[in-house]
Amino acid sequence: MARRSKTSLENDIERSRWEEKWENIPKLVEQLSSRTTTESSIDALKNLLMNESRLEIYLRNNPLGTTCAAEAKVQLKEVVSNLTKLVSQDKLQKSDKTQEALFLLCKAHFVMEDFHSCVKYCNQGGADDIFIDSQSKRKSKLVADGFAHKAMALEQLQSMGELSVSDDDIIACYECAGDIVLWLTTDHISTTRTTGSSQIMSLGQTLEVAIQRAPVLLIKNGKMTQGINRFRHLLRVIESKATMNLRKGLAKQLAQVLLRGICEQSYERPLHILHNSPMISSTTSVRSVSKATGETKASINIIACKHASFPLKPQMYTGDSLFFPQNETEEILILLLLEEAMVLKDAELSQGPEKAALRRKTVADSESVYDLLTVALVRRAQYGVLAECLDRGMKVAFEEFHLWFQFALALISAGKHHRALLVLRQCHQLRPEDSSVCLYAAKLCFNNLHMIDEGIAFAKKVVALGDEKELSSRGYLALGIGYSLKAGEACLRGERQQFQKRAIEALQRAHNLDPDDSEVLFHLSLCQAHMRQITKALKNVRNAVKMDMNQSFFLHLLALVLSSQKKFVEALEVCDAALMEFPEDFSLLVTKVKLEQTCVGGDQALITCKKLLETWKLVYDSDLSRPSVELQRAGSGLLDKVITDTRSLKQIPLTEIGSDKDSMDGASSIAASVRLEQALSDEAASASIKLSVPAVLALQAKLWLSIAEVFISMEKDAEANACVQEAHLIFPLSPDVFFQRGRIFEMKESFADAKNCFENAIAINPTHVQSIQHLGSLYHKTGNLVMAEKVLREAINIDPTAFEAWHLLGVVLEAQNEHEAASECLMTAIDLEATRPILPFTIIPRFL
């Protein structure tokens, strides 16, 4: 029999119910009569509509989770009584209206925390065929609401110990509710496009919970793949205004699951065969397929349908243009970038007090998505991408410390140090009492930006917070490092000693606050070594090594301090032990070469020199495998020839296999030299930093120069010249290249050429002490005592611990008949030589 068409009043009532304009229902119900409706039982219909509006108004004013069961029973007593009479006396005379009343009773009993009755009424409503009609959307939504409330009631009963409740029933109810409401949203999109209506469908808190809860329960029950696929299915539903916030939550949840619960081996890519199901716009009947068992929970209708065969499927995105991720990282990033776009699109930027709640929500959503992006991108070391993402989010970060600080850390990791310092200054303004911000800023200033004064200022701010603070000892450590760096740059001897004294005082204070901090002891020992307080330095560095033996710098300093006491054998043993743990530490290898040269002789040192070259090739050859401009200056290929030769460096004819060609013109600039020197000094000192190509090449040049020094000590000028030439091809304007070349000329007594080389080295680096003192020696040899004295005093002013300069100055002064001054200089040279390490203490980096 054909269905009778509805009257205009019935359509108005249905529209008000769908749009949840419950205040309009009483006025419309009063107009119902036999002439304005096709329903036979008008009084029962009026009763149903009035009680529905009263129930929905109560639920709107008392959202889920805020209601009190006792108060709800009082407020809804009459509503429940009226609806129960309508159902029990069959006054509605139509199964669809009876079903609506049953689902309303289901909602009411859930609010009153009568979970058994909630489940019972939902089962009664689903006992017969349920007709889902696109023309009766309110009923369809009621069905979804009913099954959502039933699922929540079953969860509550399960938590109370009801053994008859199964997880499969709960999940099926949630999936049923979710599929119906998502079908409604996609059908609403089509209706809106057709009619031009701007009305936005409201899902409601209950249905949002139902949609999100099903995949979560699947995952909790160990069905990880099914849960993830359910998430993917929900996200592929065509987006509507009603589901925007829902999609944001689903994307976040799926990203969290993939981040925390899925590894590369267990990841399953989304399949391309998820075809779109046609949207059902005609009347659809969902029939019962469950078997009667006599139990309450057995009379489940719609729930018995498996998800794959469920007839209601929402419209989903399809087509060849869809992107399917190939691994878990791609999928995580797509989800989080999607969530980020939605958060920023709906961001509340107003600072007005009336918008405070919305702004707090925006900030919370932003922090959540950027924290997850941080976890995902840091795993892949994509710090630059993370910094770009956080940069986009800065528009919502007004006076929000967490986002600013995350941005600063991302910039630091991405190597954008200048901008990171600017962001850290902003963080300090937002939270001046946070000492960690000042410590990060001081670390940037000391380690990367060479802004020592500003770093000291930040360290003083940490100290000013008080000794009782957790990080106060780190503040004194930063202050001590800053003062020691200032001492290294001071031009006047008195100023330098003053800074060194302040550094030791600050580090001693840090040690008193935290006696178990090995890093404090290390830097205290290093400062004492610079001051030639060798006994104290040895004690402190040994204590530091006892606390932490996993730091190569600690062992290196111990070897140098032992060498300053002329305990070369013991120092060599420390180097060997350190190299067993850190075989790729080039500073340790160079120190070992010098110790072997002193203890054993040049032959053994040359064996270690060849190991130096082999280690360099092993560590950095892969970094230089791609074509680049820098490779054009990577030498003549002498390194490969030496390594492939099974003989030692002593037996290899370097003069025959080396190259006499000049360096490339493109590298012949002081600016290029300064850049390479800076790259090496900034990067090579830290074993945790991956060297850039310029620093790698500069390091190879340094190794060749170290080998040349061994040959010079053995008076093998030809071999030494071959090594210097190779370094020159790599690093043509290095001051060390000119210095070693000058030494070779000096050994050959070609004083004019040697003088020219030393002057070139000084022109590139005016503080190159070795070149200055050798230039002074040349002036002395050539009889120019006045220039010799001037140059040697300059060397002493740069490095007061250079005993060779003191000794030469004494000799020059004695030749000028200044015997008293000469005697003082010679005595100073003797004192300094007694505590001279095998290599200068300055090769140990001072990093925070």
Instruction: Render pLDDT for 320-350 as a digit per residue (tens, 0 to 9).
Output: 777 888 888 888 888 888 888 888 888 888 8
Residue 300 confidence (pLDDT) above 50: no
The Cα–Cα gap between 177 and 142 comes to 10
Write the burial class of residue 275 (CB in 10 Å: 0-12 exposed, 13-18 middle, 19+ buried): exposed
Average pLDDT in the chain:
81
As a whole number, mean pLDDT of residues 835-847 equals 88
CA distances from 709 to 164, 287, 457, 767 (A): 86, 93, 42, 20
Poorest-pLDDT segment among 82-86, 378-382, 535-539, 737-741 = 82-86
Contact call for residues 605 and 597 (beta carbons, < 8 A): yes
Identify the pLDDT of residue 661.
54
Helix axes 244-261, 205-220, angle to 10 degrees: 20
As a whole number, mean pLDDT of residues 40-56 equals 80
Choice between 783 and 290, residue whose per-residue pLDDT is larger:
783
Residue 783 confidence (pLDDT) above 80: yes
pLDDT in tens, 111-144: 888 888 888 888 887 766 676 666 677 888 888 8
DSSP 53-96: HHHHHHHHHS-TTS--HHHHHHHTHHHHHHHHHHHHTT-S-SHH
As a whole number, mean pLDDT of residues 818-822 equals 89
Poorest-pLDDT segment among 271-275, 494-498, 711-715 = 271-275
Share of the chain above pLDDT 70, in %: 82
Q: Kindly tell me the number of DSSP H helices and DSSP E strands found in the chain.
A: 38, 2
Contact call for residues 694 and 733 (beta carbons, < 8 A): no
Residues sharing a CB contact under 8 Å with residue 265, sequence separation 6 or more, in sequence order: none
Residue 241's identity, in one-letter code, is K
Identify the pLDDT of residue 205.
83
Q: Of 703, 701, 761, nearest to 730 (Cα)?
A: 701
pLDDT in tens, 270-279: 876 544 443 3
pLDDT in tens, 554-605: 999 999 999 999 999 999 999 999 999 998 888 899 999 999 988 888 888 8
Share of the chain above pLDDT 90, in %: 24
pLDDT in tens, 342-372: 888 888 888 888 888 888 888 888 888 999 9
Contact call for residues 456 and 482 (beta carbons, < 8 A): yes
Residue 305 confidence (pLDDT) above 60: no
Residue 328's identity, in one-letter code, is E
Torsion of CA 767, 770, 776, 777, to 10 degrees: 180
Reduced 3-state DSSP string for 175-202? HHHHHHHHHHHHHHHHHHHHHCCCCCCC
Helix (H) or strand (E) holding 491: none
pLDDT in tens, 142-196: 888 888 989 998 988 888 888 788 888 888 888 888 888 888 887 655 555 555 4
Residue 515 confidence (pLDDT) above 60: yes
Confidence of residue 265 (pLDDT cuts 50, 70, 90): confident
Q: Of 843, 801, 802, 836, nearest to 588 (Cα)?
A: 843
Residues sharing a CB contact under 8 Å with residue 10, sequence separation 6 or more, in sequence order: 36, 37, 38, 39
Residue 390's identity, in one-letter code, is L
- The whole-model pTM stands at 0.81
CA distances from 337 to 311, 348, 389 (A): 33, 19, 9
In the block, tokens 């007004």 appear at 398
Q: Which of 39-43, 307-311, 777-781 has the highest mean pLDDT?
A: 777-781
Q: Which two tokens stand for residue 569?
A: 């054998």
Q: How many residues does the chain have?
A: 848
Helix axes 435-444, 452-464, angle to 10 degrees: 160
Identify the pLDDT of residue 8.
79
Identify the pLDDT of residue 289.
31
Half-sphere exposure at residue 708, Cβ-oriented, CA atoms within 13 angstroms: 29
Confidence of residue 630 (pLDDT cuts 50, 70, 90): very low
Confidence of residue 47 (pLDDT cuts 50, 70, 90): confident
The sign one gets for the Cα dihedral 648, 598, 804, 677 is positive
pLDDT in tens, 636-686: 677 777 777 667 676 676 665 655 555 444 344 554 454 455 445 444 444
CA distances from 64 to 104, 145, 149, 204, 667 (A): 15, 12, 11, 10, 73
Residue 54's identity, in one-letter code, is R
Q: Which two tokens stand for residue 296?
A: 């309450």
Identify the pLDDT of residue 35.
54
What would you report as the CA-atom Rg of the chain, rounded to the nearest whole angstrom? Answer: 41
As a whole number, mean pLDDT of residues 3-25 equals 75
Identify the pLDDT of residue 294.
35
The Cα–Cα gap between 271 and 223 comes to 18
